[in-house]
Amino acid sequence: MISESITGSLIIGISGCQLTDQDTTNLRHPAVAGVVLFARNFQSPSQLESLCQSIKQLRQPELLICVDQEGGRVQRFKQGFTSLPSLAVYGRLYQQDTGRACDYAYRHGRVMAAELRARGVDLSFAPVLDVQSASNVIGDRAFSTNPYVIAELGTAMIAGMHDSGMAAVGKHFPGHGTVLADSHHEVVTDTREFDQIVNHDLVPFQQLSQQLDAVMMAHVCYPCVDRMPAGYARFWIQDVLRQQLGFDGAVISDDLDMLGGAGIGDLSARLKASLKAGCNLALVCQADSVTQVLNSMQCENVSSSMPTLSILQPGNQALTMEQMQTVGEWRQWQTSITNLCEL
C-alpha cells in the first residue's frame, strides 16, 4: 500500500464515451487531479461537450480535462475538429519559408487549443519537442531533426496555445527522438553520454523553459547518466530540469501503464517512484489500472494539488464554436492548416 502523501496527483483514463459508476467513483477520489481522454471517449463534438460537463460537475473546477491533440497521427478527436497536420510539416515548410512556417505553427496552436476549449477540454499535451532521429514512435510528430528549428517553431505554437488560453506541455524530456524502440511497448534505453544529450535533445527544452507551463517526462533510460528511466530519476527532474534549466512549471509523468515505465515494479511502485523523483502529476490511462492504483492508496494521506493545477487551468474565457466563426481570420486559419495536411 502506498504510504507517502499523494498530493492529488493522478490524471486518469476513463472507459468510454459516458461516465460509468466506476469512473464516477474514481474521479471523486481525492488523489485524482483530472482525466485524460482518448479516441475511445469520443463520438462527436456534442457528445464530448456533454462528457466534459459531466466530469466538471463532479468536482468543479478542480478536475483538469486533458487530451493528446498534437496533429497528424496523434489527434484523438477528428469529426467536427480541424484536421491538423503532423508537426513535421512545419519543419519542412521552414526550409522553404521560415516566416510562413512560424505563422502556421502559431495558427496550429491557436486553432487546436480554441477548438478543444470550446468543447470543454482544458489541456492538450503539446507540443512535441523531441529532436527526430531514429524514433519510429516520434517520427513525424517532431517538428524537425534540428533542435534550433524545433525551438523556433515550438515558440510559435506555444504562443498560439497561450493566446487561446491553454497551457503548453513540452514533451518528452529529456528527449525520445534518438531511440528506435517504442516506449509504449518496449523498455527503451539511450546509451549516449550526458553532453551529447545536453547539446542536442535538451536545446528546445532549454530555450523554451520559461515559455512552457509543464513538461512531460520520457519513459527512456539513459544509463550513462542515471540508472532509472527519466520519469523516475531525481537527477533529470531536479538537477537538470529544475536547477540547470530553471524550469518552475508542472512536471508530468508519461503513462505509467506503458511498458517503458514498467521496469521498477507494479503501478503502485511506479507512481511512488514518479512522485518521489519530482513529478507533480502522473498519468494512469487505462481505466482498469486506475481502480487498481486507487485501491492501493491510503485516503488519509491525500491532500490538495491545486497549486499545480492552477498553472495548467485555462487562462481566459473560452470562445464558443459560433463565436470563432465571427472572427475574420478564423476560417482562413482553419483552411490553411488543413491544406498543409496534404504536404
Q: What are the DSSP calls for 115-166, one per residue?
A: HHHHTT--EE---B----SS-TTTGGGSS-S-HHHHHHHHHHHHHHHHHTT-
Number of independent structural domains in the chain? 1
- With H, G, I as helix, E, B as strand and everything else as coil, classify residue 185: coil
Asked if residue 1 belongs to a domain, the reply is: no
User: What pLDDT, on a 0 to 100 scale, did the predictor assign at position 328?
Assistant: 73
The structure's pTM equals 0.93
What type of residue sits at position 47? Q
Asked if residue 2 belongs to a domain, the reply is: no
Q: Which residue out of 182, 184, 239, 266 is catalytically annotated?
A: 184
Instruction: Of 91, 87, 233, give the one whose Cα is nearest residue 170.
Output: 87
Asked if residue 335 belongs to a domain, the reply is: yes
Q: Which residue out of 254, 255, 266, 288 is catalytically annotated?
A: 254
Asked if residue 144 belongs to a domain, the reply is: yes
Please say if 185 is a catalytic residue: no
User: What pLDDT, on a 0 to 100 scale, did the predictor assign at position 141?
Assistant: 94
| β-pair partners for 173 | 217
User: What pLDDT, on a 0 to 100 scale, did the predictor assign at position 17?
Assistant: 97
Asked if residue 314 belongs to a domain, the reply is: yes
| 119-to-44, 47, 123, 225, 336 alpha-carbon distances in Å | 10, 9, 11, 42, 22
Asked if residue 39 belongs to a domain, the reply is: yes
Cis peptide before 229 (omega within 30 of 0): no
Cα–Cα distance measured from residue 155 to residue 149, given in angstroms and rounded to the nearest whole number? 10
pLDDT along the chain (343 residues), means of 10: 57 96 93 95 97 90 91 95 96 96 96 96 97 84 96 98 96 86 62 94 97 94 92 96 96 82 76 91 92 73 57 86 81 89 75
User: What pLDDT, on a 0 to 100 scale, did the predictor assign at position 298?
Assistant: 59
What CATH number should be reported for the domain holding residue 97?
Answer: 3.20.20.300
Please say if 254 is a catalytic residue: yes
Asked if residue 4 belongs to a domain, the reply is: no
User: What pLDDT, on a 0 to 100 scale, did the predictor assign at position 149?
Assistant: 98
Asked if residue 275 belongs to a domain, the reply is: yes
User: What pLDDT, on a 0 to 100 scale, did the predictor assign at position 232?
Assistant: 93
Cα–Cα distance measured from residue 140 to residue 272, given in angstroms and rounded to the nearest whole number? 33
Instruction: Of 126, 123, 120, 124, give the one whose Cα is nearest residue 60.
Output: 120
Cα–Cα distance measured from residue 190 to residue 183, given in angstroms and rounded to the nearest whole number? 12
User: What pLDDT, on a 0 to 100 scale, did the predictor assign at position 268?
Assistant: 86
What is the bridge-based pairing of β-strands 250-255 and 69-71?
A: unpaired
Domain that holds residue 153: 10-340
The 10 Å CB-count burial string (b at 16+, else e) for 162-183 is bebbbbbbbbbbbbbbbbebbb
**Unique residue bearing C-alpha cell 481566459:** 316
Cα–Cα distance measured from residue 261 to residue 230, given in angstroms and rounded to the nearest whole number? 9
